[in-house]
Structure 1
Amino acid sequence: MLELQGVTAGYGRTRVLHDVSIEVPTGRAVSVMGHNGAGKSTLLRVATGLLPVMSGRVLIDGEDVTRLPPSKRVRRGLGYVPQGQVSFPQMTTLENLRLVAKRPSDIDEVFELFPVLKELLGRRAGLLSGGQRQQLAIARTLLTKPRLLVLDEPTEGIQPNIVADIERVIIDLTRRSDLSVLLVEQHVGFALRSTHSYYVLQSGRITMTGDGGADAVDAVRGAMAI
């Protein structure tokens, strides 16, 4: 589905990513973990088309999209949930969802994933908790029917019960559909439980990769502590 092949990227003359290669297969969830400053945000900016590469390629379904802008990557099935629980704060939960829903029945489908949103339809998004806004942001992106869902630090500042809900949704979506997920995250336990495979990014380089799952938590935490 998504491939970054030998990508080097950065800002001005400063290189942040150094020959980075990752793959997100169709119907699989992949996490990229690393501390602040490791290059995770730069990697996502490259994947979504917000930052050009210095060298290397970005492919979606085998097609080279390295030079395509974000809008054209969206048309090829990319859905991006940026960091920070982004919403339209003056609009209600329902109005936020209606902005992107193609059919009313599509909104009912996201209620199956995030039931709490159905109870908050008339409330302005700016009055929701951080966790509720994060669920709204993910739901709104899913309404665009992406084939690749890109999540940037979805657990940041979120209460544990909603972290568990988001974990459940990621697992459920990849289990019952061909949706691919690229998750960038610092929360090691959440990331590994939610995804089929992982990459560890340190100082702009991939230093570790393997299968996801709870059994990998201790090894990844140890590697990141070095």
Structure 2
Amino acid sequence: MLRMDEVEVAYGHTAVVHGATIEVATGGVTAVMGHNGAGKTTLLRAVVGLLPVRRGKVLLDGEDVTALAPHKRVARGLAYVPQGQQSFGQMTAMENLQLVADGRKRGKGLIDEALDLFPALRPALGRRAGLLSGGQRQQLAIARALVTEPRLLILDEPTEGIQPSVVAEIEETILELTRRGDLSVLLVEQHVGFALSAASTYYVLAGGRVTSSGAGGQAAVGDVRAAMAI
């Protein structure tokens, strides 16, 4: 689905990601882990096209999209949920979803499908998004992304500041979506247990470089924690 091939990303003259190669399989979950400042969010922003790639390529289904504008990447099936449970705070939860659904043939159906995945949102649809709990706002952000019918869902720290019960719900939702086989997920996460439970493949980023990679699953927790401790 996605391949970042020897990608270098910089802010001005300062390189932040150095020659990273990362792959996301079709229908799979790939986790990128690392401490704050490792370059994880910078990597995601380069995938979406919000930051230019100085060297290397971003390939989507084999197509070189390195030079494409963000909206053209979205049109090819990317959906990005940035860090921080972002929503339009003065709009209701339903208006946040409707804003994305408008103009789509299956607009109402897409909203219903997203709410089936996050049923806790249904009683809160009439509330302003800014008044929702952190967990509800994160669920709303993911639901809104799913309304775009993505083929690749990109999540940046979806468990940050979220209570454990909601973390478990988000994990199960990610697994349910990928079990269907038509959605791939690129997940940036510091919560190692959560990331490896969901991921089939992982990468550890440190200082903007890939320092470790392998198969996901709980058996890899020790290896990842060791790699992150270096």
Question: Normalising TM by the smaller chain, what interval?
Answer: over 0.9
1:81-117: CA deviations, max 9, x gaps? Answer: 0111111111111111111123212211112210101
| Residue equivalent to 1:57 | 57
Secondary structure of the 2:204 match is: strand
Work out the number of aligned pairs and report it. Answer: 226
Secondary structure of the 1:79 match is: strand
The whole-number CA distance in structure 1 between the counterparts of 2:13 and 2:109 is 49
Counterpart code for 1:63:
E
1:150-200: CA deviations, max 9, x gaps? Answer: 000111111111111110011110001310100001110110001111000
Q: CA deviation at 1:127?
A: 0.5
Aligned partner (choices 167, 170, 191) of residue 166 of structure 1: 170
| Residue equivalent to 2:19 | 19
The whole-number CA distance in structure 1 between the counterparts of 2:202 and 2:74 is 24
Correspondences of 1:96-107 after superposition (within 5 Å): 96-101=96-101, 102=104, 103-107=107-111
- What is the CA RMSD across the aligned residues, in angstroms? 0.8
| Residue equivalent to 2:200 | 196
1:131 equivalent in alignment to 2:135 = yes
Runs of 4+ in 1 over 4 A off after TM superposition: none
Counterpart code for 1:52:
P
Aligned partner (choices 143, 153, 158) of residue 154 of structure 1: 158
The whole-number CA distance in structure 2 between the counterparts of 1:53 and 1:91 is 34
Percent identical pairs in the alignment equals 66
The whole-number CA distance in structure 1 between the counterparts of 2:26 and 2:226 is 30
The whole-number CA distance in structure 2 between the counterparts of 1:123 and 1:11 is 38
Give the TM-score normalised by the residue count of structure 1: 0.98
Segments of structure 1 that go 5 or more residues without pairing to the other structure are: none
| Residue equivalent to 1:42 | 42
The whole-number CA distance in structure 1 between the counterparts of 2:45 and 2:65 is 13
Alpha-carbon contact 2:33-2:205 (below 8 Å) kept:
yes
Secondary structure of the 2:18 match is: strand
The whole-number CA distance in structure 2 between the counterparts of 1:42 and 1:97 is 27
The whole-number CA distance in structure 2 between the counterparts of 1:106 and 1:194 is 24
The whole-number CA distance in structure 2 between the counterparts of 1:13 and 1:107 is 43
Alpha-carbon contact 2:121-2:136 (below 8 Å) kept:
yes
Q: CA deviation at 1:225?
A: 1.2
Segments of structure 2 that go 5 or more residues without pairing to the other structure are: none
Give the TM-score normalised by the residue count of structure 2: 0.96
The whole-number CA distance in structure 2 between the counterparts of 1:25 and 1:177 is 11
Counterpart code for 1:180:
S
The whole-number CA distance in structure 1 between the counterparts of 2:15 and 2:229 is 23
Secondary structure of the 1:100 match is: helix
The whole-number CA distance in structure 2 between the counterparts of 1:110 and 1:77 is 17
Alpha-carbon contact 2:26-2:181 (below 8 Å) kept:
no
The whole-number CA distance in structure 2 between the counterparts of 1:98 and 1:8 is 37
